[in-house]
């Protein structure tokens, strides 16, 4: 059975737009514990799990010496690599 697509793959297929990804990054920055975030009309993304399972992002968000811009880029990377669940 194939793995579910990543957010990046769904973006390339036109199912998820950059505005939705940007909004998800905003949520990570405000509420990193968010576990069920709707994306693409038919998907739920566990933002907390996306950050926790991408170690470079988890470390960056916990590092007070990192800039907001860097943290946002790392959060976006974790989101793009994440595999959301179908609703």
pLDDT in tens, 70-82: 999 999 999 999 9
Q: Is residue 57 part of a domain?
A: yes
- pLDDT the model gives residue 44: 95
In a domain, 74, yes or no: yes
Predicted pLDDT at 87? 81
Q: What is the pTM of this model?
A: 0.94
* Structural domain containing residue 70: 7-82
- pLDDT band of 1, cuts 50, 70, 90: low
Structurally, the chain folds into a number of domains equal to 1
In a domain, 36, yes or no: yes
Q: Which residue has the higher pLDDT, 26 or 40?
A: 26
Residue 1 lies in a domain: no
Within a domain: 2? no
Q: Which long-range contacts (CB under 8 A, 24 or more apart) does 47-51 make?
A: 47/79, 49/82, 50/78, 50/79, 50/81, 50/82, 51/75, 51/78
Residue 47 in any domain: the answer is yes
């Amino acid at each position: 059975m194939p793995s579910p697509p990543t957010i990046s793959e769904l973006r390339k297929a036109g199912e998820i737009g950059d505005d939705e990804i940007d909004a998800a990054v905003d949520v990570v920055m405000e509420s990193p514990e968010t576990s069920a975030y709707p994306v693409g009309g038919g998907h739920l993304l566990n933002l907390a799990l996306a950050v926790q399972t991408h170690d470079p992002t988890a470390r960056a968000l916990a590092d007070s010496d990192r800039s907001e811009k860097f943290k946002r880029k790392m959060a976006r990377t974790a989101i793009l690599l994440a595999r959301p669940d179908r609703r």
